[in-house]
Structure 1
């Protein structure tokens, strides 16, 4: 059966119709199509670029049943494309073959050098092994690898020369590198090394932002998880680590605003549970200084383009979400899709 949707397409703000034939969008009219959305606002499927489906507890292995549940939670919220920058194991190939699940761009397990992550919760490697491991994970996944660039503020980050070698080697095989950064030195090394994305970016030196924009390093601030962490931290007794965390959290609003204004690609990622809450992350991006349209784009068309996927155009995958109201006028609308269509099938 051919489906038809009609509405105002974002970000172009043009009223258009699409006919869904199989898993593709078509602009050529088809007679007797079943109209499943007539009016409202049409967006490319939402995107969570930093999510870890498949396990909820530190140290537990990737679980197929949990993975499927998490991905369905994403899907039902309109999140039709996810990037998993690190997980407890490699995302199994059956995920890509299941038409009921969102499209996944994975980075394999986290790559952690000694003292820089939860032991055993990812792939533990030595600094000498890091370059080869990064290339292996990038080629075994969807082209991404994830390096834990720093961890404890009292310990040094992955040395710049090693991280630079990682980025160069992964780029040489056509891959991309995401780097976990939460210290000033870790952020500096990741930007200087030419990483493709900074995950978190806490304590980022604003003097590096223009370089990020120029070389195309994206920022994924994962505000939701830090806001929750800050609320917990403020109830604890003062300590150097608590104060370090809270000072980094307090600076993130200015960092997001400055990065966005400088032309850095700022994207929505949750890094938290339950899955399917990227709409909340978009609201935080707007509160932190991004325009409502840019905040919605960070969870939709901007993120899709960054991951190499088209928006709502003829011949594109039929992955879209529809709303009764304009989410760029009120970002909270993003959490309440009227229709969710994945691979040409209405799921909500």
Structure 2
């Protein structure tokens, strides 16, 4: 995790000057979610509140918020027949960055995120979650890491340890087949938590969502058939909800036009209940977060719009893709010593979607990228 640099701003600026580094930048605007006008000085990749003479002002007015966050995205491949590639990964992450998404969590991937991603100052910060972990028959064969139920807990610890502390378990797959049992998932959660990690669970069936919540997973991904009776338990134990509404919403029309079938009817029943469930989760105190699970990358604002449509207050929906997501991942917002990752808007981005179509300024790791 990033750590604040030591020493005062002035000391750091003098050190930078002696080494010929770039001038300190200044930004000013109304900070969200506090809605207070503030100025920050950007020293390397950190925000500072101590004024620096002769700093270059790059944002003067408008609205400031921490860089956008997509907590459920799978960069690196776009199709089942397309192998994971560094070129595709770079393109996807660049698309995120250009939309103001400066931090992504990848809960499951066809391959572990390579080290060069974390070293490239031009790319968003990445919180990887290792490879998808799936037991036989519960995922796309060979697309993640296939393990037996007996091996799952050990594999989950391995993936969490090799990533940012996260692992991703496919808790269910087909609507008409059993989900992973509570006992197996509980063993995974206990093992990963003992190692200091966290567990994300792919869940779309009622059984899979139930078992994942009862096992105490840290994030429920999708949750299409989540029983509202489990929401209070999620709030009490701190299980976050990442409903990925936009990707489901985009496919709803096509589903309705299909011939009736067990799968179609199951899918539509889950979709029709999902928005009310998301609203109920928010009202109960569950942390609801924005994740896209779709392509093209860089579309997290569409998820913000869906969260607002589900009934989250506009500012809460926006926070799900910014300050709330960062806090949940253990990162500060716009504060002294925090990472200099921010986006600026000319008008209040909690207003209708046109107000947040695209940031007027994007600053990543202390550098203006747009």
Give the TM-score category using the shorter length. over 0.9
Which of the residues 262, 272, 275 maps onto 1:253?
A: 275
Match of 2:126 in 1: 104
Alignment coverage as a number of residue pairs: 348
In structure 2, what is the equivalent of residue 282 of structure 1? 304
> Partner residue of 2:11?
none
Deviation at 1:152, TM superposition (A): 0.6
Is the contact made by 1:60 and 1:88 (CA closer than 8 Å) also made in structure 2?
no
Aligned to 1:210: 232
Q: TM-score, normalised by structure 1?
A: 0.99
The CA deviation at 1:326 is 0.5
1:229 Cα deviation after fit? 1.9
Please state if 1:21 is matched with 2:40: no
1:264-275 matched pairs, under 5 angstroms: 264-275=286-297
Partners of 2:348 and 2:205 in 1: how far apart?
A: 38
Q: Pick from 147, 152, 155 the counterpart of residue 130 of structure 1.
A: 152
CA contact 1:59–1:120 (8 Å) conserved in 2 = no
1:94-122 Cα deviation digits (max 9, x unpaired): 10000110000011110011111111111
User: What's the counterpart of residue 58 of structure 1?
Assistant: 80
State the alpha-carbon separation in 2 of the partners of residues 38 and 283 from structure 1: 27
1:99-178 correspondence to structure 2 within 5 Å = 99-178=121-200
- Give SS of 1:253's match: helix
Q: Please give the per-residue CA displacement for 1:184-219, whole angstroms capped at 9, x wherever unaligned.
A: 000000000000000001110000000000000000
Normalising by structure 2, what TM-score? 0.93
Task: Quote how far apart the aligned CAs of 1:331 are.
Answer: 4.1
Q: Counterpart of 2:359?
A: 337
Instruction: List per-residue Cα deviations over 1:122-151 (Å, max 9, x = no partner).
Output: 111111111110000000011000000001
Task: State the match for 1:10 in structure 2.
Answer: 32
CA distance in structure 1 between the partners assigned to 2:226 and 2:331 by the alignment? 29
Give ranges in structure 2 of 5+ residues lacking alignment. Answer: 1-22
1:306 matched to 2:328? The reply is yes
Larger radius of gyration: 2
Aligned to 2:109: 87
Whether 2:194 is the aligned partner of 1:184: answer no
The Cα shift of 1:59 comes to 4.5
* Aligned mates of 2:246, 2:354 — CA distance in 1: 14
2:347 matched to which residue of 1?
325
**Do the aligned partners of 1:177 and 1:196 also contact (CA within 8 Å) in 2?**
yes
Q: 1:234: how far off?
A: 1.4
Stretches of structure 1 that go unaligned for 5 or more consecutive residues are none
After superposition, the C-alpha distances for 1:15-66 in whole angstroms (9 at most, x for unaligned) are 0000111111011111111111100000000000000000001143320000
Cα distance in structure 2, aligned partners of 1:190 and 1:335? 35
Match of 2:4 in 1: none
**Paired residue secondary structure (2:143):** coil
